[in-house]
Every structure is written in C-alpha cells, then in structure tokens.
Amino acid sequence: MCGIVGYIGPQPALPILIEGLTRLEYRGYDSAGVALLEGDAIEIRRAEGKLAVLAGQLRDERFAATLGIGHTRWATHGRPSEQNAHPHASHGLALVHNGIIENFVELRERLEQEGFRFASETDTEVIAHLIARHRRQGLAPSQAIRAALAEVRGAYAVAVVFEAEPETLYAARNGSPLVLAKGEGESFLASDIPAVLAHTREMIFMEDGDVAALSAGEITITSLAGEPVARETTHIDWNPVMAEKAGFKHFMLKEIYEQPRAINDTLAGRIHQGEQRVALADLGLDVEFLRTMRRVVMVACGTSWHAALVGKYMVEQLAGVGVEVDIASEFRYRKPIVGPRTLLVAISQSGETADTLAALRQAKAQGATTLSICNVVGSTMTREADATLYTHAGPEIGVASTKAFTTQLVVLYLLALHLGRANGRLSGDDEATLLRDLITLPTMVEEALACAPACERLAKGLAERRDVLYLGRGIHFPLALEGALKLKEISYIHAEGYPAGEMKHGPIALIDEEMPVVCLLPDDDLMEKMLSNVEEVRARDGVPIAITQPALVDTLPEGTEAITVPPCSRYLCPVVMVVPLQLLAYYVALRRGTDVDQPRNLAKSVTVE
Ligand code: M6R
C-alpha cells in the first residue's frame, strides 16, 4: 500500500507534494520520491527511508515546477532502496504506482528482449516501459497509457507525467484507490483524501477502468476504451484526522474492514487461473527439498503464533507433513531438534520480533532451511531467511493485529497446497477444488463484516464483565486463543482461550451467571461436540455467545446469543470466523474508552527479548 500525490496549477508543486505525502505516510514509508516537470525536462529525486530523508535532501534545491507527482512507498516487489523508490522513468515520462502487477515477470522478460533496460526490481517499472514502448510506436500519451494498461494484469493506481505534454497530468485506476480534487485553477490527485484536504474539499473518486487527464483548469475522465465517463464531485467535510483513517474512528477498525482487499492482494499473482494451481514463484525453495523434507517447525509470537497453530492443521491435513508449532521465546531455549531435513517457518507481521528472529537464526545455525512469512518487505527476517512469502496486507498500524493474521492464514493455506502438490499428497483435482474455496474467500470475509451491528450490541454487556472465556475445537481452537488475546490487549478485560474439550478439566469451575463464554461453533464435524459445550455452559447459568452460521442458530439452547457469519470451507473457515472476534474486541474496547490503536504497555513491534 503506497501513497500517491499529484499537482498541476499555478503554485510551486514541490511543497504541495511533500505536504501531501506527509499525510499519506500512514500508508507505508520505506522510501519516497518526486518527479517535477522543470521546464521541458523531468527531474526525479528519490530517497530510501522516511519522507523526512527526501525532504532533507531537497532542502537546498530550488524548483520552479508547477506540475509534479510524488510517492511514498511500502515495498511489495523489491526491497526498500533508492533504486526501487518511485517515480520510475522511461524515455521522457515518469510514473508512480500503487498496487501489484501480477504478470510483471513475463512483461519484464519481453521488454528486456526488446532492449528496455530496467533500473529497479519493481513490478512498477514495466508500466513505465510499456507506455514508452507505445509512445515509440507513435501513440499520443493518453493512447499509450491505455494501450499499456490493456497489457497489465493486477491492481494499480498510477499517475504519469510526460515531457512532451507539460500541461497535463495523467492518472488511471484499477483496484487501488485514487481520488481527484479540483481547486481554484489547480487540480490534484492522491491515493487518499487527507493528502489534498488542506487545498480543497471537492473530490472525485475514480472508479476501476477510469483514465483521467488533469490540467490546471479541468479534469476529464474517460474509460480505458477512451469513451467519456461522468463522475460526481463529492464535498468532503471530514477533519484531517478522520480523513487519515478513511472516516473510521480507529486504524484497527479500518484494518478489519480492509481484510477482503488485503486477502485479494495476498492472492494476486499466486493462483494460476487457467490451470487452477498454486503459483508460488516467489517461494524459491528447491522442489526436491520440499518433497523429501521430514518435518515443518513453525515459530512465532502472539497473533502470529495463533496463525501458526491454524497453519499446522492446514499443512498436516493437506500436505501430510508433520508440523510442530513453537512459541518463539520457548523454542530458542529448549534445545530444539531441527536439522537439514527440517523446514523452519518463522511467521511475523513485522519481521523484526526479537524472539522469532532468534529462533530463525538458531534453526539456520542447526542446518534447517528457513522460510519467513512476513508483511514488511526488507525486514530483518526476510533478509536472513532462505526464502520469504509475503503477506501483502499493507501497513498495519493498530497494535492489535487483524489483517496481518488473516493474510498469514491465506499464505499458510497456499503453502500447504504447494507442499501437498510437491510431495504428491494432493491431486490436481484436489488442488483445483481447494483453490476454488480460496478464490471466494474475500467475498466471504466481506459478508462476515455484516455481523458488526450484532457485535456492537453484544459488546454492551461484555464491557461490564471482569472475565471472558473463549472455547473452540480443532482448527478453531487457535481462534479461541486469538479472540481472547484481542479482547485482553485492547479492552484490558481478562480473557482465556481454551480447547473446548478441556473445559471439564478445570475452567468449568469458573462458570456462573457472571461468565460470558464465546463459543466457536461452525457447521463442521466437531459441531455436535461444541453444541454440548454450549449446553454445559447454559446448564451452569453461564452466558454463551455462539459465533456460528445461520443454519445452526435454531439448534442453540435457549438463552444463547448468536453472531452469524457465512458458511465457509473447512480450512478457510477460521479466516471468516475471526472477523466477529476482532469486532467484538473492538466494540468492547470502544465502550470502555481504552486507547484502541495504542493499548497501554504494548508496542507494535517487539524488538527486545
Ligand atoms: O510482528 P509479529 O507478528 O512478529 O508480532 C508478534 C506479536 O507481538 C503480535 O502478534 C502481538 O501479539 C499483537 N499485538 C497481537 O495483536
């Protein structure tokens, strides 16, 4: 998730771009850059690191340009570096991009064969060269953009400037947000409203397939085919803080709602649609090793550890490989048995968690092959692991992990399918069926978000309680842990997650009319056993809250509260069922007035032991 800003008008462009980018830094900030049309030449300045580094480098330069584009990057393809920072240039044009180009490898190969030289590792640079290629063939800038975009597959929001057309700024959108804004004799574009809110409140939201041409006096929008398109202008009356969170009260809530998009981005380019098979080109591990390895060991902390526990079910049952899951801080001190036939999977949103990193280093020293599943490109774990699979969740700002968790589950599912195919456990037909479930997952998660009002209503009662118990079985037991962790870390209510079968071995003593028990009750082969647990809670005057599916509501004992989500396939069901757990925790914290995004005593990234 990157940030884009563009300006054309009578004012110097650079200060407007830098100020706009500052307001977009929440979208990611491993590098930044600007392109300015200075006279008849494009000047590009880029720097690795936060925007302040770029701003510092520009302090002593003077630019007269009144047209420019800027970008703050959150790396997806290619590590954070000056070369990989945007804008990218090609033969008289410069371009910034937010999104992921799925077919960039094949496009890059073709362009290289045609003589185009690549200066970065990014997927973005192919768009710049494709446009230049069409310009060479005689197309006008707007036509060249259209022709290039017809060749790319994936998500994009792009802004382009041409030396040959100094009065126009171009933009296009497909799957990544882009807003246009009209001021007095000036026009703006940005990935998000806060970037331009200081200048104007009149916004036009681009839609997928739109191509826009901005001059100082006018904005025109056409379709990819070049047909005129009419889009309404919307007056925005948010304050700047609201705008940064896209109108959501907290980053955590925004990130919960971003999950369908985050899952889509994580899947982008990883499913070979034609052949219906997993395409983990980025994995880069030797297939022979994957076929012959003896076991998988997963290490992680907190929410990432819960993802590993779900991943164990996926990999064991789909790939038939034994999986051991360890809390990273325990692994490093227990003299673990790992060696050359072990695949060590380190799961971490940040890629910087000290305990997980130490576990990865230890396993590597003992000869294991290491794979990191990470959200932050270029983080320490990704540099040290033998291979990395990224979760393309975009920056997660709320301390409570939400979209990082669901995208970790998606990557673990892809890995399980890949391993199952590599070792012959899964047939091509099995893989195709299991992939069909995955393709519908973003829609399922979207539908699950409709449970928000029910969560908000139930949060009223929960917010008054001192303790809450969470129960789950099988692949949903880790979700009981995750639901309890979410609640305790942001609402400060004591919560415990238990495998439901363990209830009778101790926790049942706690149940009385004061004890809410959140029960994960999907319609699966353990459903009857979970229903018995709900009955047991009811029989002791406890207050069961079933996270369930519509078909089961009538089977619940009287006095049970229900939150429903759509039915989903066996291994992906946790991705859907976790949504109400996140929302419940959020609304309870909201009622209690705690600091949802930065709960007390916690840090987003725990880089000390
Ligand atoms: O960056 P990591 O995934 O390695 O972080 C691990 C934990 O610190 C993290 O998941 C933590 O438990 C979250 N605050 C949970 O919401």
Q: Which of 25, 15, 377 is nearest to 191 (CA)?
A: 25
Query: In terms of pLDDT, which residue wins out, 276 or 451?
Result: 451
Query: In terms of pLDDT, which residue wins out, 548 or 73?
Result: 548
384 near 361, Cβ under 8 Å? Answer: yes
Q: Would you place residue 596 in the very low, low, confident or very high pLDDT band (cuts 50, 70, 90)?
A: very high
Residue nearest to atom 9 of ligand 1 (CA): 302
Instruction: State the pLDDT at residue 261.
Output: 92
Residue nearest to atom 7 of ligand 1 (CA): 302
- pLDDT tens per residue across span 426-485: 999 999 999 999 999 999 999 999 999 999 999 999 999 999 999 999 999 999 999 999
Instruction: From 252, 255, 298, 304, give the residue whose CB has the most ligand 1 atoms within 8 Å, as the site to mutate.
Output: 304
- Of the ranges 263-267, 393-397, 398-402, which one carries the lowest mean pLDDT score? 393-397
Instruction: State the pLDDT at residue 508.
Output: 87
Report how far residue 164's alpha carbon sits from residue 37's, in angstroms, rounded to the nearest whole number: 10
Instruction: State the pLDDT at residue 343.
Output: 96
- pLDDT tens per residue across span 22-69: 888 777 678 999 999 998 899 999 999 888 999 999 988 989 999 999
Q: Report if pTM > 0.85.
A: no
- Of the ranges 285-294, 455-464, 469-478, 518-527, which one carries the lowest mean pLDDT score? 285-294
Q: State in Å: Cα 348 to ligand 1 middle.
A: 7
Ligand 1 lining (C-beta closer than 6 Å): 301-304, 348-350, 353, 356, 399-401, 485, 489, 602, 605-606
Q: State in Å: Cα 442 to ligand 1 middle.
A: 23
- Of the ranges 111-120, 240-249, 396-405, which one carries the lowest mean pLDDT score? 240-249
Instruction: From 255, 349, 485, give the residue whose CB has the most ligand 1 atoms within 8 Å, as the site to mutate.
Output: 349
Atom of ligand 1 nearest to the CA of 303: 10
pLDDT (average), residues 297-319: 97
Instruction: From 401, 490, 578, give the residue whose CB has the most ligand 1 atoms within 8 Å, as the site to mutate.
Output: 401
Report how far residue 395's alpha carbon sits from residue 255's, in angstroms, rounded to the nearest whole number: 9
Q: Across 312-466, where does the E strand assignment appear?
A: 322-327, 342-348, 369-374, 387-390
Structure tokens, 408: 């970790």
pLDDT at 204 over 70: yes
Domains in the chain with CATH codes: 3-242 (3.60.20.10), 245-424 (3.40.50.10490), 448-592 (3.40.50.10490)
Instruction: State the pLDDT at residue 608.
Output: 66
Q: State in Å: Cα 272 to ligand 1 middle.
A: 31
Run of H or E including 222: strand 219-223
Residues assigned a catalytic role: 2, 604
Residue nearest to atom 16 of ligand 1 (CA): 400
pLDDT at 241 over 70: no
Q: State in Å: Cα 43 to ligand 1 middle.
A: 41
Q: Would you place residue 545 in the very low, low, confident or very high pLDDT band (cuts 50, 70, 90)?
A: very high
501 near 473, Cβ under 8 Å? Answer: yes
Atom of ligand 1 nearest to the CA of 606: 8
Q: Across 417-507, where does the E strand assignment appear?
A: 467-472, 494-499
CA dihedral 418, 420, 422, 427 (to 10 degrees): -110
Cis ω before 87 (30° cut-off from 0): yes
Spell out the SS3 assignment of 98-122.
EEEECCHHHHHHHHHHCCCCCCCCC
Atom of ligand 1 nearest to the CA of 350: 1
Q: Would you place residue 231 in the very low, low, confident or very high pLDDT band (cuts 50, 70, 90)?
A: very high
Instruction: From 298, 301, 594, 598, give the residue whose CB has the most ligand 1 atoms within 8 Å, as the site to mutate.
Output: 301
pLDDT at 162 over 90: yes
Q: State in Å: Cα 349 to ligand 1 middle.
A: 7
pLDDT at 159 over 80: yes
Instruction: State the pLDDT at residue 44.
Output: 96
Q: State in Å: Cα 300 to ligand 1 middle.
A: 9
Instruction: State the pLDDT at residue 235.
Output: 81
User: In the chain, count of helices (H) and strands (E)?
Assistant: 20, 26
Atom of ligand 1 nearest to the CA of 302: 12
- pLDDT tens per residue across span 63-98: 999 999 999 988 877 888 999 999 999 999 999 999
The mean of the pLDDT values for the chain is 92
pLDDT at 246 over 90: no
Residue nearest to atom 11 of ligand 1 (CA): 302
The 3-state DSSP class for residue 316 equals helix
pLDDT at 273 over 90: no
Atom of ligand 1 nearest to the CA of 399: 14
Instruction: State the pLDDT at residue 283.
Output: 86
Q: State in Å: Cα 387 to ligand 1 middle.
A: 21
188 near 7, Cβ under 8 Å? Answer: yes
342-348 and 295-300 beta bridge pairing: parallel
